[in-house]
């Protein structure tokens, strides 16, 4: 019997690839996404929840949103995430799928602070080569757009660009091809496990906290 799993879902390429790989081994019961309540956007990524909802429908999995306030404290984040995960654990879920690649402290934090009482993390991408993962994502037919960049390491013109081979070639050598160090975040709008694409048009560019550049993505039609 296959075990039930919930996916920590950001809407970005790493969680999408982790879902794609984990679905071959686990029964995925839901996508769990942190949303900043005041803005109605995916936390950190800045993507509108309307697109998130359409994305979850396109991959045909239930979407569960964990609402957090702006400037959420770590304690409050943990409290809300643990409460959400406890609901799944009590419903028979034993695994939590994560898209982490090589950040030891992030994995340790999840395992020690969020997963307990029978929940175990599943890390399909762990310790795999970032460059190979980036090319694999593209070869599989996934399509994504950069929705947020760290302007300390990337020019603002990268915000809104399609994540493709040309973009990978244009990335500075110091930037991880998967953005694992937070250099950029993405929104996946099509892929091999999508029943349909999630159309959008690029909106305005906004700089937040004098560091993070966001390209707003505007929903189009019914998706």
Residues linked to residue 186 through DSSP beta bridges, in sequence order: 146
Distance, CA of 202 to CA of 38 (rounded, Å):
22
DSSP state of 162: B
Distance, CA of 82 to CA of 85 (rounded, Å):
5
Give me the pLDDT at residue 117, please: 81
| 223, two tokens | 């998706």
Distance, CA of 128 to CA of 111 (rounded, Å):
19
Distance, CA of 75 to CA of 56 (rounded, Å):
28
Q: What is the pTM of this model?
A: 0.96
Fold of 130-217: putative n-type atp pyrophosphatase, domain 2 (3.90.1490)
Give me the pLDDT at residue 35, please: 97
Distance, CA of 201 to CA of 36 (rounded, Å):
22
Fold of 4-122: Rossmann fold (3.40.50)
- H/E element, 77: helix 74-90
Tracing tokens 């942190």 back to the chain, one arrives at 34
What is the CB-side half-sphere exposure of residue 103 using CA atoms within 13 A?
A: 15
Distance, CA of 186 to CA of 10 (rounded, Å):
9
Give me the pLDDT at residue 223, please: 41
Domain ranges of the chain: 4-122, 130-217
Tracing tokens 């695994």 back to the chain, one arrives at 95
Instruction: Using CB atoms within 10 Å of the CB of residue 10, give its burial: 0 to 12 exposed, 13 to 18 middle, 19+ buried.
Output: buried
Which parts of the chain register pLDDT below 50?
223
Give me the pLDDT at residue 116, please: 80
């Amino acid at each position: 019997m296959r075990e039930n799993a919930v996916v920590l879902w950001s809407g970005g390429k790493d969680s999408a690839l982790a879902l794609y790989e984990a679905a071959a081994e686990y029964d995925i019961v839901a996508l769990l996404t942190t949303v900043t309540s005041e803005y109605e956007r995916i936390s950190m990524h800045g993507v509108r929840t309307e697109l998130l909802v359409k994305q979850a429908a396109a991959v045909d999995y239930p979407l569960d949103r964990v609402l957090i306030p702006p400037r959420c404290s770590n304690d409050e984040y943990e409290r809300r995430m643990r409460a959400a995960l406890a609901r799944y654990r009590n419903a028979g879920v034993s695994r939590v799928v994560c898209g982490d690649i090589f950040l030891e402290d992030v994995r340790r934090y999840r395992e020690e602070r969020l997963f307990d009482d029978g929940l175990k993390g599943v890390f399909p991408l762990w310790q795999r080569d970032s460059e190979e993962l980036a090319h694999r994502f593209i070869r599989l037919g996934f399509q994504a757009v950069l929705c947020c960049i760290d302007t300390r390491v990337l020019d603002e013109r990268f915000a809104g660009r399609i994540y493709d081979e040309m973009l990978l070639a244009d990335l500075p050598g110091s930037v991880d091809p998967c953005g694992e160090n937070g250099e950029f975040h993405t929104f996946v709008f099509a892929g091999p496990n999508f029943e349909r694409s999630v159309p959008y048009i690029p909106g305005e560019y906004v700089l937040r906290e004098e560091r993070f550049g966001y390209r707003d993505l505007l929903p189009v039609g019914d998706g």
